[in-house]
Chains A and B, each alone.
Chain A
Amino acid sequence: MTETGDLTELRQELARAATMLDLGRYDEASNLLARVVSAEPGSSRAWCLFARAHLGADRYQAAVDAANRAAAIEPAEEWPHRLASNALMHLGNHAEALRAAAESRRLAPSYWQTHVCVAQAALAASQPALAAAAAAEARRLAPNEPDVHFLSGKVALARSDLDGARTHQERALALDPAHSGAMNELGRIRLRRHDTVGAIKHFINAARTTPGEHIYSRNIDVVILRTLSRMIYIFVLVALIMLWIPAVAHIDRFPFAVGFGVLVAGTMAGFTILVLRMPQEARRLVRRTLRTRRVVTALAVALGGVAAAFAAVAFVPSAELPQTLPIAIIVTIAARMAATARLRSTAGRNQPGPPVGRNQPSPPIGRG
Chain B
Amino acid sequence: MEPEPVLESLRNAVAAMPDDVPLRLHLATLLLRAGQRDEAVRHLGAVLQRDPGNGEALAMLTASAEVTGQHPAPSADPPVSSERTVAPAPDSASSAVVPDAAAASPDPADGDPDRGAAAPPAGSPGDDTADGARRAGDDVTASYDWSQAEAELRDVLPSMFVGDAGSTSAGLDEARAYDAEHAGLTLDDVAGMTEVKKRLEAAFLAPMRNPELRKLYGKSLRGGLLLYGPPGCGKTFIARAVAGELGARFITVSFADLIDMFVGRSERNIHELFEVARRNSPCVLFLDEVDAIGQKRSQLRNTPMRSAVNQLLLELDDVASDNTGVFLLAATNHPWDVDSALRRPGRFDRTLLVLPPDGPAREGVFRYHLRERPVAGIDLAKLAKITDGYSGADIAHICETAAERALLDSVQRGEPRLIGQADLEAAAAEVRPSLGTWFDTARNVALFANEGGAYDDLVAYLRKRRLI
Contact = CB atoms under 8 A, between A and B. Distances in A.
Assign chain A's interface to a size class: 20 to 34
Contacts of B117: 27
Contacts of B337: 212
A18 B113 contact: no
Interface stretch (A265-273, A280-288, A319-327): A280-288
A208 B449 contact: yes
Contacts of B13: none
Nearest to A21: B302
Given A12-B263, A16-B263, A284-B468, A217 B447 contact: yes
Most buried by A among B113, B304, B448: B448
Interface in A189-245: 204, 207-208, 211-212, 214, 216-217
B462 to A, nearest CB: 11
A22 B259 CA distance: 11
A348 B302 CA distance: 38
Given A27-B113, A207-B448, A217-B447, A19 B259 contact: yes
Nearest to A206: B448
Given A20-B259, A214-B441, 12 more contacts: A12-B263, A15-B263, A19-B302, A22-B302, A27-B117, A178-B298, A212-B337, A212-B444, A214-B440, A217-B443, A217-B444, A217-B448
B298 A16 contact: no
Contacts of B441: 211-212, 214
B449 A16 contact: no
Contact of B262 (A19, A204, A211, A284): A19
A211 B296 CA distance: 14
A211 B448 CA distance: 8
Interface of B: 113-114, 117, 255, 259-260, 262-263, 292, 295, 298, 300-302, 304-305, 334, 336-337, 440-441, 443-445, 447-449, 468
Contact of B336 (A15, A16, A23, A212): A212
A25 interface: yes
A25 B291 CA distance: 12
A16 B292 CA distance: 13
Contact of A208 (B255, B440, B448): B448
B201 to A, nearest CB: 30
A161 interface: no
A16 B257 CA distance: 11
A6 interface: no
Contacts of A163: none
Interface in A162-186: 178
Contact of A281 (B113, B304, B336, B448): B448
Contact of B260 (A16, A22, A23): A16
Nearest to B295: A23
Interface in A8-56: 12, 15-16, 18-20, 22-23, 25, 27-28
Contacts, number: 63
Interface of A: 12, 15-16, 18-20, 22-23, 25, 27-28, 178, 204, 207-208, 211-212, 214, 216-217, 281, 284-285, 288, 366
B292 A23 contact: yes
Contacts of A16: 259-260, 262-263
Contact of A207 (B259, B302, B447, B468): B447
A25 B255 contact: yes
A217 B468 CA distance: 12
A211 B445 contact: yes
User: Can you list the 6 inter-chain pairs with the closest CB atoms, starting with the nearest?
Assistant: A211-B444, A208-B448, A211-B445, A207-B448, A19-B262, A208-B449
Contacts of B298: 178
Contact of A288 (B263, B302, B468): B468
14 contacts: A15-B262, A22-B301, A23-B295, A25-B255, A207-B448, A207-B449, A211-B445, A211-B449, A212-B336, A212-B441, A214-B441, A217-B440, A217-B447, A285-B447
A19 B113 contact: no
B305 A22 contact: yes
Contacts of A28: 113, 255
B444 A18 contact: no
Nearest to B114: A27
B366 to A, nearest CB: 26
